[in-house]
């Protein structure tokens, strides 16, 4: 919500304070989307099983959610499980689902305290009944929150989302000539939300892995070598500061060149 909100949470004199003071609060990304990657590599570096990486990724989720909410970011989307992630060993998938349930149970009070509204994007209907119950409960309990919207992308695929939107257009009987970009965006899982301004990917991979394909058309991409379990408030603030140094053109020309061009 503001510098004050952020500073109230940072111990005085902590190095993150200087970062927080550099943020231009009038130019915050309205929507930050994060591809949380590198849990397996974090574990491998420590000769631990991959699931230990996932377990240690939870603190990164907590830090990111609270930092984004205190900053005053309107929407945060975290990519937690892709439609392709079912290819992983069954035991790893099971652990990921168990961790998700535990996270929701433990964090619901923090979400409420921070006025955060929780939403799921993806084909949630294919998740097991116990996971769906936990998700539905978190969505219902935070439905009256008016602060940051926190989307978790679960069993999510960007292409699947576009196909689902096309199917909806057909089933709702929308005529071809009625369909334009604005109308189509309203059929996506993220209907009514601003597109991501900032897309963060941890652990250095330079790809989008089927994440928010439609919505990231003009997102600023920030890739950090930091592995997800090591990602903290500081890293999110650094990403926001880097974003604020970018010049967004949307296919146009820079404002400094505009004077010359006319
Ligand atoms: C991200 O970490 C978590 C999920 C995709 C669920 P990974 O498990 O992909 O970690 P790496 O990429 O193997 O290091
Ligand atoms: C993307 O990470 C999916 C999530 C973060 C949930 P992956 O680790 O699955 O992506 P690839 O396989 O490296 O592209
Ligand atoms: Mg990965």
Confidence of residue 261 (pLDDT cuts 50, 70, 90): low
Q: Quick one: pLDDT at residue 260?
A: 62
Q: Mind listing the pLDDT tens digit for each residue in 18-75?
A: 999 999 999 999 999 999 999 999 999 999 999 999 999 999 999 999 999 999 999 9
Q: Do the beta carbons of residue 196 and residue 158 sit within 8 Å?
A: no
Write down the catalytic residue from 16, 26, 85, 210: 85
Domain ranges of the chain: 27-156+197-244
Q: Do the beta carbons of residue 60 and residue 228 sit within 8 Å?
A: yes
Domain 27-156+197-244 fold: Undecaprenyl pyrophosphate synthetase (3.40.1180)
Query: What phi and psi values does residue 222 have, to the nearest 5 degrees?
Result: -130, 115
Is 85 marked active-site? yes
Which has the closest alpha carbon to 80: 191, 157, 178, 181? Answer: 157
Q: Mind listing the pLDDT tens digit for each residue in 75-108?
A: 999 999 999 999 999 999 999 999 999 999 999 9
Give pTM, 2 decimals: 0.97
Ligand nearest to the Cα of 152, by number: 2
Q: Is the CB of 160 within 6 Å of ligand 2?
A: no
Q: Is the CB of 78 within 6 Å of ligand 1?
A: no
Q: Quick one: pLDDT at residue 258?
A: 64
Q: What is the secondary structure of 26-83 as a DSSP string? A: GG--SEEEEE---HHHHHHHTT--HHHHHHHHHHHHHHHHHHHHHHT-SEEEEEEEEG
- 40 is written with which tokens? 């397996």
Atom of ligand 1 nearest to the CA of 81: 6
Query: What phi and psi values does residue 188 have, to the nearest 5 degrees?
Result: -80, 170
**CA 141, chain centre distance (Å):** 20
Task: Compute the distance from residue 209 Cα to the ligand 2 centre, in Å.
Answer: 6
User: Looking up tokens 């650094």, which residue turns up?
Assistant: 238
Q: Quick one: pLDDT at residue 2?
A: 86
Q: Mind listing the pLDDT tens digit for each residue in 103-129?
A: 999 999 999 999 999 999 999 999 999
Task: Compute the distance from residue 91 Cα to the ligand 2 centre, in Å.
Answer: 17
Is residue 141 predicted with pLDDT exceeding 60? yes
Strand order of the β-sheet with 220-223 is 117-121, 149-156, 75-82, 31-35, 198-201, 220-223
Q: Mind listing the pLDDT tens digit for each residue in 178-229?
A: 999 999 999 999 999 999 999 999 999 999 999 999 999 999 999 999 999 9
């Amino acid at each position: 919500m503001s510098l004050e909100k952020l500073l109230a949470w940072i111990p005085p004199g902590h190095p993150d304070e200087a970062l927080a003071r550099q943020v231009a609060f009038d130019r915050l990304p309205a929507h930050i989307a994060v591809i949380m990657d590198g849990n397996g590599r974090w574990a491998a570096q420590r000769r631990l099983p991959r699931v230990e990486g996932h377990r240690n990724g939870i603190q990164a989720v907590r830090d990111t959610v609270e930092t984004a909410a205190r900053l005053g970011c309107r929407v945060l989307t975290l990519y937690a499980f892709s439609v392709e992630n079912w290819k992983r060993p069954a035991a790893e998938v099971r652990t990921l689902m168990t961790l998700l349930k535990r996270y929701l149970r433990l964090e619901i009070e923090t979400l409420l305290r921070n006025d955060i509204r929780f939403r799921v994007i993806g084909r949630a209907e294919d998740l097991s009944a116990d996971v769906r119950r936990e998700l539905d409960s978190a969505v219902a309990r935070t439905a009256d929150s008016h602060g940051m919207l926190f989307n978790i992308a679960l069993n999510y695929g960007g292409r699947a989302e576009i196909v689902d939107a096309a199917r909806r257009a057909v089933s709702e009987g929308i005529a071809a000539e009625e369909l334009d970009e604005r109308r189509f965006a309203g059929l996506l899982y993220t209907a009514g939300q601003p597109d991501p301004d900032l897309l963060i990917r941890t652990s250095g991979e330079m790809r989008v892995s089927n994440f928010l394909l439609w919505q990231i058309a003009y997102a600023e991409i920030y890739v950090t070598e930091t592995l997800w379990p090591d990602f903290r408030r500081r890293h999110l603030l650094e990403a926001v500061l880097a974003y604020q140094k970018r010049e967004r053109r949307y296919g146009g020309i820079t404002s400094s060149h505009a004077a010359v061009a006319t």
